[in-house]
Amino acid sequence: MNNDTTLDIGIGGMTCASCVGRVERALKKVPGVSGVSVNLATESARVQLVAAEALPVADLVPAPNMEARLRRAVRDAGYEPRAANTLTDAPDTSPWAGFAPIAWGLVLSAPLVLPMLGDLFGLHWMLPALWQFLLATPVQFVLGARFYKAGWHAVLNLSGNMDLLVAIGTTAGWALSVWLWLTAEPSAMVHLYFEGSALVVTLVLLGKWLEAGAKRQTTSAIRALHALRPEVAHLIGLDGEVDMPADEVLVGDKLIVKPGERFAADGVLLEGFTQVDESMLTGESLPVAKEVDSLLTAGSINGDGRVLMRVRAVGADTMLSHIIRLVEDAQAAKAPIQRLVDQVSAVFVPVVLGLALITLLGWWLSGYSFEMALINAVAVLVIACPCALGLATPAAIMAGTGVAAKYGILIKDAEALELAHQIDTVVFDKTGTLTVGRPRLLELEGGAGQARTEVLQLAASLQSGSEHPLARAVLAAAKADGLTMLETSAVSAVPGRGLQGLVGERQLLLGSLRWMDELAVALGPLADRAALWQAQGATVSALAERVRENGVERVVLLALMSFGDEPKSAAQQALDALRARGLRLLMLSGDNRGAVEAMARQLGLNPEAGEVMAEVLPGDKAAQVLRLKQGGHRVLMVGDGVNDAPALAAADVGMAMANPDGGGTDVALHAAGITLMRGDPLLVAAALDISARTVRKIRQNLFWAFAYNVAGIPLAALGFLNPVFAGAAMALSSVSVMANALLLKRWKP
C-alpha cells in the first residue's frame, strides 16, 4: 500500500447525515484507515489507507483482506455493504420509481383523514374503531417498517435521528389509540389517533422518496460522463483492421478513427490530418486542427479526416477519467440544511423521551391515576411528533423549486440552497455562458480589387454543403446579406486544410493560413491584418483561387476572413446586475489569452484587475475554484459544458446554463446544484434571489416546527393539553409550515 491507496465501498441503508457520521466513525476505527469520506448521494464510502510501513506489525492487514474488514465494519454499524458504483452504474429509472408505498399510504390514510375535514363543516361522522385500526396498522408497521429498522440501529449506536422520532411519535399515537379503543365502554365514542400516525408515516415516506429522486439526479452526472466513451475501437493488428471493445485497448496500440467517431483513448496522431471537436475538454466551440504528433483525447469527436493514432493512456489514466474522478470527489460535499434537522434530532429524541417519562412518573407519584399520567405522557409524545419538523425542509424546497422552475431555474440540492445567498464571488465560464458559443464571421477583408459581396458569395457557395461550424458562420453572413448561392462542382475536403472545388468555372480553395503558406500564397498587404486578428484570438481563414497566367499556374488570395465568438445580448446587463449586488466577478476560459481578454473588455470586465483567467485546462478549472475557496471566498461557478463539470462540482455552488446546441451540456447540468434551463445570463441573479428566499422559508419553518414543541410540550406535561388538543396542535403546526412555504409561489424574477 502507499499513501495514495483508496478503496470504494457501496453502502445501503443510510437515510440521513447521522447515518453518514456513524459509518465514518465505524470505518475510521479499522486499523490502517487514515481518512474516510462517505457520500450519501452515491451511497458509497471512499476510504484512504495509510502506508503499510507506517503501521505497527500487529495491525498489518493483507491487502485482499482490507476490503473484507471494511465491509464487516459497515455491517457491524447496522448497514449493508455493497459493490462500489452500484448507484452510478444503474440505468436511469422512471421518475415514479418507488412511489408505490406512498400511494398505498395515501389510499389507506384518506378514509381516516376525511372525518377530520368533515368536522370543519359541522359534519360529525367517524369510522368504527375496528376499521380505523385495520386501515392504520398496515401503514404503521408495514409501510413504516423502515423507520423502526433505522431507529433501532440509532438506539444501538446510542444516538437519535429523524427515523427514530418518526417511529416513537407514530407508535405512541397508534398505541394510545389501541389502548383507548380496548378500554372504552362498548357504546362510548372515544377520540382515536390512528389518522395522525398513518398520515405522518405517509408524509415522511414522501420526503424520503423525493430525496431518493435527488440522489438519482446527482449520480446522472457520472453516468453522462461515462457515456462519452465509445464502445468499439478499430485496432490495427497483424491481420489488418479489427473491431474490438474499447475497454480492451492497450497502451501502444494503433487505432483507426473514422470521421464523426469519438476517440476511444488518449493518444498521438500518427497519420492523417483532421479537425477535432474538443469542446468537451476546452469549452472552445471552434474545431482544433490536428496533424502528425498532435495529442488526442478520449471522448473528443473526430472531424472530417480518417486518422491513425497510437494509444498513450487508457481507462483510468485518460483525461476523461480524470474529469470523472474530479466530479465524483467534488460531489462528496454534505448539505448543511439536511444535516441540521438530524443533528437537532439527536438531542431532541432523548430530551422528549425523558420529559415524557418525567411527566408519567410526576403525575402518577402525585396521586393521580395511572391512566391520567399515561394520557399526559402520551400528550407530550404526540405534541412532539415530528410531522412539522419533517415537512419544514421538503415543503419549502418543493414550493421554491416549483416556482423557480416556472421561470427556467432548476434547484437540485439543499447545499446549493444553503450557500447560494452567501456567495461573494461569481466565476463564469466564457464559451456558451457569457458568449453565444458559436463562431461568427467577424470581419471579411477582400484582396486588391475584390468586392466584399462577391468574395462572400463565392465563399458561401463553396461551403454550401458543409456542416463545419466555420462554414455555417459564412452561410449565415451570406444569408443576412441576401446573397444567392452559385452553382458548384467537384467540391472536396482537404483534411486538416480546408475545402477546394469549382464555383462556376472558377477553381477556389478555402482554408487555413497554414495551407496558404504551403501553397506559397502571398498575403501581401493583408498579412498585418491577419496577424492582428490572430493576436486578438480570432480564427483566420483565407479564400484563394487557382489561376493560370502565361501558361503558369499559381494560387492568388481573394480574401481573408476572421471568425470568433460574440457575447450574449444580455451578458453585460447580467454582469452589471451581479456587480450591483456587491459580488466579485471573474471569467474563466480554456481559450488563448488574446481572445479571452478581448471578450472580457466587450463585457465590461477588467483583465488588469485580475477578472480574467485564460488558457485554463479542465483539471485546472476546478483547482482555480478551490484556490478561491481556500482564500476565504464563497464561490459560485457558472458553466455549460462537460469541461466545466469538475469546477461546477468543486464550487460552493455550481450553476449550469443550458446550451441549445446540446453536446456535453447534460453532464454540466447534473454536476451543478442549480440549473438554468435557458441560456440567459440574467437568470443567474434571479437564481440567487429565489435560493435566498427559499432557504429563509426553510429556517422559518424549522423555527415554527420547534416553536410548537417548545410551547406545547410544557403545556402537555402540566396537563393543560390532552392528546386531542396535542394532535390538533401538531396538525396546526403542519398547516402553518405548508402555508408559509406556499408563500414562495408568489415570487417572480
By DSSP bridging, strand 612-613 and strand 584-588 are parallel
* Domain 440-564: top CATH class: alpha beta
Q: Pick the catalytic residue: 266, 429, 591, 652?
A: 429
* pLDDT value of position 86: 59
- Burial degree of 247 (CB within 10 A; 0-12, 13-18, 19+): exposed
* pLDDT value of position 126: 79
What is the Cα–Cα distance from 181 to 175, expressed in whole angstroms? 10
Residues 61/69, Cβ–Cβ less than 8 Å: yes
Residue 293 belongs to what H/E stretch?
Answer: none
Q: Which residues pair with 435 in a beta bridge?
A: 567
* pLDDT value of position 617: 74
- Burial degree of 64 (CB within 10 A; 0-12, 13-18, 19+): exposed
Opening angle at CA 103, ends 100 and 106, nearest 5? 155
Superfamily of domain 410-435+567-688: HAD superfamily/HAD-like (3.40.50.1000)
Q: Is 652 a catalytic residue?
A: no
Residues 41/333, Cβ–Cβ less than 8 Å: no
The answer to pTM > 0.85 is no
Residue 46 belongs to what H/E stretch?
Answer: strand 44-49
Question: Which CATH code is given to the segment(s) 6-89?
Answer: 3.30.70.100
6-89 against 440-564: fold identical: no
* pLDDT value of position 253: 94
3-class secondary structure, 569: coil
What is the Cα–Cα distance from 428 to 415, expressed in whole angstroms? 20
* pLDDT value of position 207: 63
* pLDDT value of position 249: 93
Q: Which residue carries 446510542 as its cell?
A: 158
3-class secondary structure, 620: helix
Per-10-residue mean pLDDT of the chain, 749 residues long, equals 68 72 86 81 79 54 74 87 68 75 92 77 79 94 90 76 71 84 81 79 74 56 71 89 91 93 93 82 67 88 90 86 63 54 66 87 89 76 64 71 74 73 90 82 87 93 85 91 92 84 92 89 89 81 90 89 86 91 89 79 88 80 91 90 79 80 53 77 90 86 80 88 61 71 84
Q: Where are the domains of the chain?
A: 6-89, 96-227, 232-263+266-313, 410-435+567-688, 440-564
* pLDDT value of position 372: 76
* pLDDT value of position 214: 47
Grid cell listed for 29:
476505527
Name the residue type at position 311: V
DSSP label at residue 641 = S
* pLDDT value of position 313: 92
Residues 520/556, Cβ–Cβ less than 8 Å: no
Q: What is the CATH architecture of 232-263+266-313?
A: Distorted Sandwich (2.70)
Distance of CA 585 to the CA centre of its chain: 22
